[in-house]
Amino acid sequence: MTDTAIISDAGFALHVTGGAGAGFSLTYFGPSCAAHGTEPLPVLPAGPDRPPGPRLLAMRGDGYDGISHIEAVRLEDGRAAHLIPVSIEQVSGTALHLHSADEAQGLGVTLEIRLGHGLLHMRTRVRNGGPAPVLLIRCAALLLPLPDWADEVISGYGAWAREGHTARRRLDAGFSGKASRLGRTGFDGPPGIVICAAGTTETVGRALGAQLAWSGSHRIHAERLRDGAVELCAEAIYEPGEILIGPDETFETPEALVVLSEQGLDGLRDVWHAHARRQVRPVTRPVHFNTWEARYFGFDEPGLIELAGQAARLGVERFVLDDGWFAGRRDDRTSLGDWTPDPDRFPNGLAPLIRAVNDLGMSFGLWVEPEMVSRQSHLYRARPDWVLAFPEEAAPTGRNQLVLDLSNPEVVDHLFGTLSGLLRPGGIDYLKWDCNRELYPASRNGRLRATAQVRGLYDLLDRLQAAFPELEIESCASGGGRIDFGILPRVMRFWASDATDAADRIRIQDSLSRYIPAEMIGSHVGPSPNPITARAFPMAFRGLVSMFGHMGVELDPAKLDAGDHATLTQAIALHKKLRPSLQAGTYKVLETGDASLHVSGLFRAGSGEFLLRVLRTAMSVYPLQARITVPGLPGGARYRVRELVLGEESGRELGILTAETLAWAGFQGDPRRPDHGRLFHFLPIR
């Protein structure tokens, strides 16, 4: 076999060649070019006489010392899969398939590669055409040789209410990346990493971003091999014995996504945001009021109607009833699984509350946690065999709850029927879908089923969206525990963190914005002092932090003094006025030399206008603060600059500035005081 294939799209190209005994060689991946030559690989000292080189569908056995793309064995005799390249199939100008096979086992493997909208899509399919079952031990969605400029790895880390931290490391020998092994994406952010050249900044330098579109256990890492080559691997983690492929059966991995940029990290962000927006239908995102930090479990119908009235007077557009509404739920130790309104709190069901909320001009949303069950519940007593870890009566719990087995179609059918019963009467147009614990153990009757659990969740969400096409769902997992491109097509919004602390939210939302557009990130004004950190912040600062996101409120309005009430009302009104720009803008982080100064902008394509937000979290080292510069604007452009101030209808005119002035000299926009911020509107002069 000797073959060559080239695909290209949106200014990028990928070249693959194949030759007998040489596997599939990735000869080029980068900006489109007219031609790209290849040179023979040198024989390295103490190395194979035929150097394996950078390959796709790589397998060990010929001197290659990296990780294999796939590891599988035939159950009847333990024979390991040994794949031989078969063909390169040019599917179209933007797609190709690489076919390998182990003919002795009847096993065929296809790597599907596609370019579209500036993204590289890769997925692996495994087909068992033999007579015996094959146990799949591991199978990467992507195993990609990286270019020589791959010097550093950027990855996320964090924990509950501490999401959004970033590590940047030199890509030296060995592995660098991240993994989640508890059946859920995790608080360390989406399953992705960034590979970049040394010195790459937000706006300058080469970078490659990779994401695995999967909501379960995963591993994504870069490895520098002994010969100095670097490879990127993205894969779902399969538990032992979990993936058994029977005769004539096919298994496919989740999809891996790759983005390239020559304009620094901002170039990656732009492509990820465009991709995310294509995955969901466009909606106007109403300002939320969530009851949790206002009432926790302490409410009844009259009290909620009063609370809804207070929310409406703030200008809120959607009222979301959080945990505690269903039968017997007074704390987090009971009643999950019994999704019927509590008769003591709601003697006539939820309908009177929904009508009251609608009469106030707001839509209604509801918190649910369908994947979970409490031992103290009617559902668990009736069907203990529906729970992961069955029949272990002393199975470990998290937040006092167990996980329903969504690999069981009966369980999925039951949940679909229960949720449909809530939604069918109408009035509930939004579900805050929570998942407050990970999968441990991810088994039932001793059979591991973490992968099937995720697929069962996807099936349930897909069925609900098909049955209720106007329904909006938020992905929440104790905050930011399940944010990824696998669940994204099934939800409209992500709850970034249970932390509503304004200073922490700057970091959390900024980190998440590397992948997810601001309008999909739930961003709420919380109480002060904050219930998690005990820090206090001015209302104007909390409002500005929440404004660059899907804005919401999560506090008790009755506890606000007149000044804070007026400021929050004004912030909500300003957010709604600016919403067209906020929800369609390109989000960018502007670099400053002050770690306590956060500058970000939303640039609206087409109109040329943009909003610039400047937030200060601590005193400047020097009393004379640096000016704010805005690089990258079109040359010769002129802007009328206005500061938008809460409480001032028209704002403050700052004059006219040119793109060159903004890029080189900047303007005086520092808030000067800690926990204060400023918001500027730049309108182009035609």
Domain with 576 in it: what CATH number?
3.20.20.70
Query: What would the mean pLDDT of 48-77 be, rounded to a whole number?
Result: 84
pLDDT digits (tens, 9 = 90+) for 388-422: 999 988 899 999 999 999 999 999 999 999 999 99
What pLDDT was estimated at residue 686? 83
Number of domains present in the structure of the chain? 3
Which residues, at least 6 apart from 298, have a Cβ–Cβ distance to it below 8 Å?
none
Mean pLDDT of the chain: 94
In a domain, 128, yes or no: yes
Q: What is the pLDDT of residue 43?
A: 75
Task: Give the confidence band of 174 by pLDDT, cuts at 50, 70, 90.
Answer: confident
Catalytic-labelled residue, pool 434, 484, 504, 510: 434
- The pLDDT value recorded for residue 124 is 98
Is the whole-model pTM more than 0.85? yes
Q: Do residue 546 and residue 622 come from a single domain?
A: no
**Residues 418 and 335 grouped into a single domain:** yes
Long-range own/partner contacts, residues 78-87 (CB < 8 A, 24 or more apart): 79/104, 79/105, 81/105, 81/107, 81/134, 83/57, 83/59, 83/107, 83/109, 85/1, 85/18, 85/22, 85/23, 85/24, 85/57, 86/1, 87/1, 87/3, 87/18
**Helix, strand, or coil (residue 595):** coil
Whether 419 and 457 share a structural domain: yes
User: Is the model's pLDDT at 46 over the cut of 70?
Assistant: no
Q: Inform me whether the pLDDT recorded for 165 exceeds 80.
A: yes
Query: Could you confirm whether 434 is annotated as catalytic?
Result: yes
DSSP character at residue 286? P
Q: What is 102-171 written as a DSSP string?
A: ETTTTEEEEEEEEEETTEEEEEEEEEE-SSS-EEEEEE-SEEEE--TT--EEEEEE--TT---EEEEEE-
Q: Comparing 223 with 45, which gets the higher pLDDT?
A: 223
Same domain, 540 and 624: no
What's the CA gap between 241 and 452, in Å, rounded? 12
Domain that holds residue 663: 588-684
Flag whether pLDDT at 225 surpasses 60: yes
| Residue 623: per-residue pLDDT | 87
CA separation for the pair 552, 476 (Å, rounded): 15
Q: Can you count the helices (H) and strands (E) in the chain?
A: 11, 39
Structure tokens at 429: 């147009």
Mean pLDDT for 629-644 is: 94
Q: Is the dihedral of CA 82, 86, 92, 93 positive or negative?
A: positive
User: Does 321 fall in a domain?
Assistant: yes
Answer with the one of 539, 564, 583 that is the final residue of a domain.
583
Query: Omega into 391 within 30° of 0, i.e. cis?
Result: yes
> Within a domain: residue 303?
yes
pLDDT value of residue 40: 67
**Per-residue pLDDT reduced to its tens digit, 232-269:** 999 999 999 999 999 999 999 999 999 999 999 999 99
Grade residue 1 by pLDDT with cuts at 50, 70 and 90: low
DSSP code at position 492: S
Indicate whether 644 and 530 sit together in one domain.
no
Separation CA 407–CA 97 (nearest Å): 30
Residue 364: name the closest of 275, 431, 264 by CA.
431
Question: How far is it, in rounded angstroms, from Cα 206 to Cα 259?
Answer: 11
- Residue 334 domain-assigned? yes
Same-domain pairing of 316 and 390: yes
* Domain-located, residue 178: no
CA–CA separation, 431 and 428 (whole Å): 8
Do both 669 and 554 map to the same domain? no
Q: Please check whether residues 498 and 625 belong to one and the same domain.
A: no
d(Cα 140, Cα 646) in Å, to the nearest integer? Answer: 51
pLDDT band of 330, cuts 50, 70, 90: very high
Q: 344 catalytic, yes or no?
A: no
Q: Are residues 636 and 561 in the same domain?
A: no
Shared-domain flag, residues 485 and 562: yes
Question: Across the strands, what pairs with 111?
Answer: 98, 124
Tokens found for residue 185: 């994406």
- DSSP label of 205: B
Question: Is residue 125, in this structure, part of any structural domain at all?
Answer: yes
Task: Give the pLDDT confidence score for residue 34 in this predicted structure.
Answer: 55
Among 680, 540, 543, 549, which Cα is nearest to 614's?
680
pLDDT classification of 146: cutoffs 50, 70, 90 = very high
Provide the pLDDT confidence category of residue 335 given band limits of 50, 70 and 90.
Answer: very high
Instruction: Give pLDDT tens digits for 602-618.
Output: 998 778 899 999 999 99
Q: Are the CB atoms for 206 and 149 separated by under 8 Å?
A: yes
* Residue 39 covered by a domain: no
Contacts (Cβ under 8 Å, ≥6 apart) of 580: 604
Domain final residue pick, 532, 554, 583: 583
Query: Residue 282 half-sphere exposure, CB side, CA atoms within 13 Å?
Result: 4
Average pLDDT over residues 351-380: 98
Pair 647, 520 in one domain: no
Contact 379, 409 (CB under 8 A): no
CATH of the domain at 627: 2.60.40.1180
Strands laid side by side in the 610-616 sheet: 585-590, 597-604, 610-616, 676-684, 638-644, 652-658
- pLDDT digit string (tens) for 3-34? 889 999 988 999 999 865 568 999 999 998 75
What's the pLDDT at 83? 93
> Does the residue 241 lie in any domain?
no
Strand partners, 176: 222
Q: How far apart are CA 36 and CA 16, in angstroms?
A: 11
pLDDT of 63 > 80? The answer is no
Residue 173 has what pLDDT?
A: 87
- Look up residue 627 and give its DSSP letter: P
Q: Domain end: 583, 599, 621, which one? A: 583
Lowest mean pLDDT among 334-343, 356-365, 385-394, 526-535: 385-394
> pLDDT per residue over 463-519, tens digit each?
999 999 999 999 999 999 999 999 999 999 999 999 999 999 999 999 999 999 999
Residues of the chain with pLDDT > 70, as a percent, come to 97
Which tokens go with 362? Answer: 């707001």
> 499 and 431, same structural domain?
yes
Q: How confident is the model at residue 554 (pLDDT cuts 50, 70, 90)?
A: very high
Find out whether 257 and 121 touch, Cβ atoms under 8 Å: yes
Percent residues over pLDDT 90 in the chain: 87
Please identify which residue in the block is written with the tokens 């696998």: 486
Catalytic residue among 102, 323, 498, 564: 498
